[in-house]
C-alpha cells in the first residue's frame, strides 16, 4: 500500500489552556476525540463469556451493559462516561478461558464486535508488561501463549486499539541501579521492534517511561536514546505513558514527585508537546495529578470500590452501600428507580447490585474530571486552586498535598 505523503502523526494533541503546570486540551486519534485531562476507566472487555453475555465477567459485564446502553440496565446513553477506556491485554486470560475463546477474543477489532458496536470512545490498550514480567505469558485453561513484543503488538493490532504502548519492563521499588538499567535496555529493544512492527499504523503509539524521580527517568531515557535514538522517539511516538507507579499509588508524596519530575524531564528532552498518561492510579490522586500536569490517567478504583460495597460521594469519599440515600445523587443511575432498587440489594446476583454502584462511582469521577478541565480553562490559576481547596482541603490527610501542589505547580496562593 503506498504511503500517503500527507499522512501526519496518528494523534493530534492541542493544548487549549494552561493553569500553572496543569494543562487542558484535545486529543484526537482516528475518529475519536477526548478532552484532557481525562480518566480512562479500566474496563474488562473479555471476561470469559460470549457475545450473548457481552463476553461476561460478573460486575464487569454489568459495567459493559452500561457502556453500550443495554436494555438489561434499562437502556440510556452513558457514552460520555466512556469517551476513553483502558484495557490490558494481560487480562485476556484472567478467566481461565480455552484457546478457542482466546482466539475468538482477538479475532477482530473490539469496536466491530457483536455487542460493542455502540462503543465509540478512545480505546487504550496496555501491553500488560507488569503481568508478563519475568517471562510469564498468557495462561489459559489448556494452553499458554508466550509473550514477546511481536505477540503483544499482534494482539493490540487485531483488537483495534486507538492508543497502543510498547511492551515494557516495569521497575520495582526494590530494583537496584543495575537492575533498572537492564530493564531500560530491554524496554529499549522492545521499543525499536514495536516501532518497526507498527510502522504506518493509524493507531497512536505511546512510549512507556519508568522511574520515580528525575534521575531514574533520566537514566531510563539515556538507555532509550542509546538504542532507539531520541529523534526517532520524538518523530514516531504520539504520547508518553508513565508506568511503574502502581506499587506507590497510595503514596501521594511519591506520586506528585514522580509526575512533577516526569514533566520536567519531558521538557528537558523536548517531549513536552506530547500527551502524558499516568498508568494505573487511584482515583483520589486525580486532582493532584491533573494539577501537576498529567494529561490522562487510568484507574479501576470505581470498580474496586463497588466490589467492596463502597459508594462514592466525591472523588475522595465513599459511603458504605447500606447507608446510602440515593436521592442525594442526580446521576442517571441513582435517578433510575429500578437501578436504585437493585443497589438496595434487591437482585438475584451480586453483579446486578454492585454493577450500578460501579457505574455511579465512575460518573462521580468523570464529573469531577470535567470540573477540573473547566477550572484549567478558566483564566489564571484561581479556579483550580479553589477547586483543590474545596475538594481536598477539608480532608486532613490530603490538605498538605494541596498546599504543596498549589505552591510548587500552580504559582502559590494569591
Nearer to Zn ion, 197 or 370 (CB): 370
Minimum distance between the CB of residue 302 and Zn ion, rounded to whole angstroms? 12
Q: To the nearest whole angstrom, how small is the minimum distance from the Cβ of residue 393 to Zn ion?
A: 24
Q: Whole-number minimum distance, CB 289 to Zn ion, in Å?
A: 24
Nearest CA-CA partner of 290 in 364, 401, 153, 187: 401
Which of residues 351 and 360 has its CB atom nearest to Zn ion in the complex?
Answer: 360
Question: For Zn ion, which is the closer residue by CB, 85 or 334?
Answer: 334
The region of 79-87, 283-291, 322-330, 403-411 touching Zn ion under the rule CB under 5 A is 322-330
Q: How far is the CB of 318 from Zn ion (least distance, A)?
A: 12
Of 167 and 331, the one with the shorter C-beta distance to Zn ion is 331
| Helix, strand, or coil (residue 71) | helix
Identify the residue among 334, 347, 385, 406 touching Zn ion (CB under 5 A): 334
**37 preceded by a cis bond (ω within 30 of 0):** yes
Cα 292–chain centre separation: 17
Query: Which residues in 16-55 contact Zn ion (CB under 5 A)?
Result: none
Q: Which long-range contacts (CB under 8 A, 24 or more apart) does 53-60 make?
A: 54/115, 54/116, 55/105, 55/115, 56/95, 57/95, 58/349, 58/350, 58/351, 59/303, 59/306, 59/307, 59/350, 59/351, 59/354, 59/355, 59/358, 60/303
Judged by beta carbon, residue 9 or residue 314, the one nearer Zn ion is 314
Q: Does 329 bind Zn ion (CB under 5 A)?
A: yes
Stretch that binds Zn ion, among 63-71, 168-176, 321-329, 379-387 (CB under 5 A): 321-329
Element (H, E) at 374: helix 350-377
Least CB distance to Zn ion at residue 232 (A): 47
* Residue ranges in 353-372 that form contacts with Zn ion under rule CB under 5 A: 360
Closer of 70 and 360 to Zn ion (Cβ): 360
* Segment holding 297, helix H or strand E: strand 296-299
406: left (phi over 0), alpha (psi -120 to 50) or beta: alpha
Count of residues of this chain found to bind Zn ion when the rule CB under 5 A is applied: 5
Smallest separation, CB 358 to Zn ion (Å): 11
Cα 250 to Cα 27: distance, rounded to the nearest angstrom? 28
Give the nearest distance from C-beta 361 to Zn ion in angstroms: 8
228 vs 363 by CB, closer to Zn ion = 363
Question: By the 8 A CB rule, do 92 and 46 touch?
Answer: yes
User: Strand 296-299 vs strand 276-278: parallel, antiparallel, or unpaired?
Assistant: parallel
**Interface residues toward Zn ion, by CB under 5 A:** 329, 331, 333-334, 360
Amino acid at each position: 500500500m503506498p504511503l500517503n505523503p500527507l499522512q501526519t502523526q496518528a494523534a493530534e494533541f492541542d493544548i487549549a489552556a494552561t493553569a500553572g503546570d496543569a494543562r487542558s486540551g484535545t486529543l484526537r486519534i482516528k475518529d475519536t476525540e477526548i478532552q484532557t485531562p481525562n480518566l480512562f476507566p479500566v474496563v474488562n472487555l473479555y471476561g470469559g463469556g460470549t457475545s450473548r453475555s457481552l463476553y461476561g465477567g460478573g460486575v464487569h459485564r454489568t459495567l459493559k451493559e452500561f457502556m453500550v446502553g443495554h436494555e438489561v440496565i434499562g437502556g440510556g446513553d452513558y457514552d460520555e462516561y466512556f469517551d476513553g477506556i483502558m484495557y490490558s491485554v494481560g487480562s485476556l486470560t484472567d478467566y481461565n478461558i480455552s484457546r478457542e475463546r482466546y482466539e475468538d477474543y482477538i479475532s477482530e477489532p473490539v469496536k466491530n464486535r457483536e455487542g460493542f458496536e455502540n462503543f465509540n470512545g478512545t480505546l487504550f490498550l496496555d501491553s500488560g508488561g507488569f503481568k508478563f514480567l519475568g517471562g510469564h505469558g498468557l495462561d489459559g485453561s489448556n494452553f499458554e501463549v508466550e509473550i514477546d513484543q511481536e505477540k503483544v503488538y499482534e494482539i493490540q493490532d487485531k483488537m483495534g486499539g486507538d492508543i497502543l504502548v510498547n511492551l515494557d519492563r516495569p521497575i520495582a521499588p526494590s530494583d537496584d541501579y543495575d537492575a533498572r538499567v537492564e530493564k531500560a535496555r530491554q524496554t529499549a529493544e522492545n521499543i525499536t521492534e514495536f516501532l518497526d512492527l507498527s510502522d504506518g499504523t493509524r493507531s497512536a503509539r505511546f512510549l512507556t517511561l519508568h522511574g520515580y524521580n528525575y534521575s531514574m527517568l533520566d537514566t531510563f531515557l539515556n538507555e532509550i536514546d542509546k538504542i532507539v535514538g531520541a529523534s526517532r522517539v520524538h518523530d514516531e511516538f504520539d504520547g508518553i505513558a508513565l508506568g511503574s507507579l502502581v506499587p506507590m499509588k497510595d503514596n501521594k508524596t511519591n506520586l506528585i514527585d514522580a509526575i512533577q519530575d516526569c514533566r520536567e524531564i519531558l521538557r528537558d528532552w523536548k517531549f513536552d508537546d506530547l500527551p502524558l498518561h499516568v498508568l494505573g492510579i487511584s482515583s483520589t490522586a486525580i486532582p493532584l495529578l491533573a494539577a501537576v500536569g498529567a494529561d490522562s490517567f487510568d484507574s479501576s478504583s470505581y470498580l474496586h470500590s463497588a466490589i467492596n460495597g463502597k459508594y462514592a460521594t466525591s472523588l475522595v469519599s465513599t459511603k458504605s452501600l447500606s447507608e446510602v440515600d440515593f436521592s442525594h445523587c442526580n446521576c442517571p443511575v441513582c435517578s433510575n428507580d429500578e437501578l436504585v432498587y437493585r443497589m438496595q440489594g434487591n437482585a438475584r446476583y451480586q453483579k446486578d447490585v454492585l454493577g450500578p454502584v460501579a457505574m455511579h462511582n465512575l460518573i462521580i469521577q468523570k464529573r469531577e474530571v470535567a470540573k477540573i478541565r473547566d477550572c484549567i480553562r478558566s483564566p489564571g490559576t484561581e479556579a483550580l486552586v479553589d477547586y483543590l481547596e474545596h475538594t481536598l482541603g477539608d480532608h486532613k490527610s490530603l490538605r498538605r498535598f494541596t498546599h504543596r501542589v498549589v505552591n510548587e505547580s500552580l504559582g502559590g496562593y494569591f
